[in-house]
Amino acid sequence: MKWIHTADWHLGKIVHGRHMTEDQRNILFHSFLQIVDEERPDAVIIAGDLYDRAVPPVEAVDLLDEMWRELVLNRGIPVVAIAGNHDSAERLEYSSKLLRQVGLHIVGKLDPTSGPLDVAGVPFYPIPFLEPARVRHILGIDSIRTHHDALEAVIEAYGTIEKDAVTIGHSFVAGGLETDSERQLSVGTAGQVAKGLYEPFSYTALGHLHNRDAIQSERIAYSGSLMKYSFSEVNHEKSVDILEWNGQWTRRRRALTPERDMRQLTGTLNELLAPTFYQQQQTDDYLKIVLTDDTALHDPMAKLRTVYPNILHLELELLRRQEQTSTFERETLERQSVEEVYLQFFEAVHDCTAPDAVKQMIEEGDV
């Protein structure tokens, strides 16, 4: 049996004010579906956060509908998708019982009594994003307070789990590497779950963390997000996982190729506008530009956009250093006594060390 693991599509995502839906359409239709056609999997698994928000824009809903048509109707590939913390469980699960008849299995709300889904002879346990308060109500267990408690209780409610069973989840495994584009599940560590909870399953396909290397495990993996959604991900490679059964699950990756990459460029204004430099660049990528000039610049964004039209963020290193200096000075000032502040003021105004007489006056409060 062969299946594809993907997650965190975040359809309808806005990054630095830029709507990403057309970029998402491009990567799904020209990269993801190409992988699907070449691999010819028995199933596609999507581990949550199909949308970026509970009420997605119409364009995002239409895009997901088109993907269901391409995968389930046109190619006859069963799909199992769960709700993530960005999705509305109720909206996502609309008409799910009807859609299941054609091979589209959408699990938005928790139903621990439903048991596993049989896909090509493999039992899949789809566990959508678990809100502790909701799980506490559904299972009637008052001691559930954290995401770890909720997941532990749900897995126990399943009873005996088949040895070759696979689970699909949307959670933050403790120790996983975060990025700037994930929404925090709760304050502190209450949103984390221990990796050992997934031990009963032969393989665990996860969503939530956008870094495909968020954890290192042979049997537990994040696929990573569909695209780069923050500049903390510029060094990430985006891909889907291909799982095959050969006595055990083996995993390999297939790269997803966007039309526009997300990158950072650093240099002076003149360096970045030099033809010898930008002619070697993919200038229509989504860019964060850090300017290292030591002097003030007049409207650098307008000048840069004549060459790089898709700048999403511009940072002036000079201002950043000034802000860091200002913050340091303010924090230092807050730690100083009134006498020390007066003394520094005198020395700054007179450009010399305060004489002993002035120091004595300051200490005695005669200024």
Q: Which residues of 24-41 are buried (b: 16+ CB within 10 A; e: fewer)?
A: bbbbbeebbbebbeebeb
Q: Are 301 and 279 in contact (CB under 8 A)?
A: no
In this structure, are 299 and 248 located in the same domain? no
Q: Are 287 and 312 in contact (CB under 8 A)?
A: yes
Domain span holding position 291? 262-318
Lowest mean pLDDT among 19-28, 47-56, 114-123, 341-350: 341-350
In this structure, are 29 and 168 located in the same domain? yes
Laid out side by side, the sheet with 220-222 consists of 117-119, 122-127, 166-170, 203-207, 220-222
Structure token digits, residue 59: 């364009």
In this structure, are 272 and 166 located in the same domain? no
In this structure, are 83 and 205 located in the same domain? yes
- Residue 249: pLDDT band (50, 70, 90) is very high
Structural domain includes residue 348: no
pTM here is: 0.83
Q: Are 240 and 256 in contact (CB under 8 A)?
A: yes
Question: Which span out of 177-191, 294-308, 350-364 was modeled with the highest average pLDDT?
Answer: 294-308
What residue has token string 């364009």? 59
In this structure, are 26 and 101 located in the same domain? yes
What gap in Å lies between CA 70 and CA 79, rounded to an integer? Answer: 11
In this structure, are 56 and 189 located in the same domain? yes
Q: What is the mean pLDDT of residues 241-261?
A: 94
In this structure, are 232 and 276 located in the same domain? no
Structural domain includes residue 194: yes
Structural domain includes residue 135: yes
In this structure, are 242 and 277 located in the same domain? no
Q: How many domains does the chain have?
A: 2
Which amino acid, 29?
Answer: F
Given a cut of 90, is residue 135 above it in pLDDT? yes
What gap in Å lies between CA 44 and CA 35, rounded to an integer? Answer: 11
**Domain stop point among 206, 227, 255:** 255
Q: What is the pLDDT of residue 185?
A: 57
The residues, any chain, with a CB within 8 Å of residue 284's CB and separated by 6 or more, are: 260, 308, 309, 310
Structural domain includes residue 327: no
What gap in Å lies between CA 115 and CA 137, rounded to an integer? Answer: 19
Structural domain includes residue 18: yes
Q: How does DSSP assign 251-312, residue by residue? A: EEEEE---SS-EEEEEE-HHHHH-HHHHTTS-TTSEEEEEE--SS--SSHHHHHHTT-TTEE
- Closest listed residue to residue 308, CA positions, set 273, 333, 340: 273
Q: What is the pLDDT of residue 184?
A: 61
Structural domain includes residue 352: no
Distance of CA 253 to the CA centre of its chain: 19
- Residue 319: pLDDT band (50, 70, 90) is low
What gap in Å lies between CA 183 and CA 168, rounded to an integer? Answer: 19
Which residue would you say has higher pLDDT here, 187 or 156?
156
End-to-end CA distance of the chain: 85
Strands 117-119 and 122-127: antiparallel
In this structure, are 70 and 212 located in the same domain? yes
Structural domain includes residue 50: yes
In this structure, are 268 and 245 located in the same domain? no
Q: Are 170 and 194 in contact (CB under 8 A)?
A: no
CA torsion 261→267→269→275, rounded to 10°? -60
Structure token digits, residue 216: 């290192």
In this structure, are 89 and 6 located in the same domain? yes
Crossing angle of helices 147-158 and 132-139, rounded to 10°: 40
- DSSP symbol at 233: G
Strands 239-245 and 2-6: antiparallel
Structural domain includes residue 193: yes
In this structure, are 129 and 167 located in the same domain? yes
**Domain stop point among 222, 255, 288:** 255
Lowest mean pLDDT among 10-19, 54-63, 211-220, 350-359: 350-359
What gap in Å lies between CA 201 and CA 249, rounded to an integer? Answer: 11
**Domain stop point among 238, 255, 272:** 255
CATH number of the domain enclosing 10 = 3.60.21.10
